[in-house]
Structures are given as structure tokens and as C-alpha cells.
Amino acid sequence: MMSIHEAARTARADDLLARAAELFGSSEAAEAWLKTPLDMLEGQTPLACADAEPGARFVQDLIGRLEHGVFS
């Protein structure tokens, strides 16, 4: 049985995958981006950064900025 923390982490990852897939046009592209280390995340992948709720909010904000063409 999945713990509450594991369930929350899975829900966050699913939400980020769905938002990133909308941004990048496919689940495959979204997965690739979520697993790519980014300088703006100090070399972490978006998925690793989103392991905890504050990091997930940061990655959601990052996706929102990318959706609107704000790259800084």
C-alpha cells in the first residue's frame, strides 16, 4: 500500500507531466524535459525538484512562465 507521501509525490508528478505535455505537445517531450537537468534549478531535473511540495510549486510556476514566453 502506498503511503500518503508517496501518493502525494505521484499526484504531483502526474500533474506536472500533464501540464508539461500541454506545453511541449506530447507526453514523450514532457517526460524528456522533466528528466533534463536545468541550470535554473541548479542542475536538478524538474522532476527531482518537484519531489516536495515547494519544489513542485516552483516547477508549476516555471511551466506557466514558459507557456507565456517568460524565460527568466
How many C-beta atoms lie closer than 10 Å to residue 29's C-beta? 13
* pTM (two decimals): 0.87
Query: What percentage of the chain carries pLDDT values higher than 90?
Result: 82
Per-residue pLDDT tens digits for 60-71: 999 999 999 987
Q: What is the mean pLDDT of residues 17-35?
A: 97
Cell numbers standing for residue 28: 514523450
Q: How many domains does the chain have?
A: 1
Structural domain boundaries enclosing 25? 4-67
Cell for 35? 528528466
Mean pLDDT of 25-29: 98
Q: Give the type of residue at 58.
A: F
Q: How far apart are the C-alpha atoms of 44 and 25, rounded to whole Å? A: 23
Residue 14 lies in a domain: yes
Q: With respect to residue 36, please indicate whether it lies within any of the assigned structural domains.
A: yes
Question: What was the pLDDT predicted at 72?
Answer: 62
In a domain, 72, yes or no: no
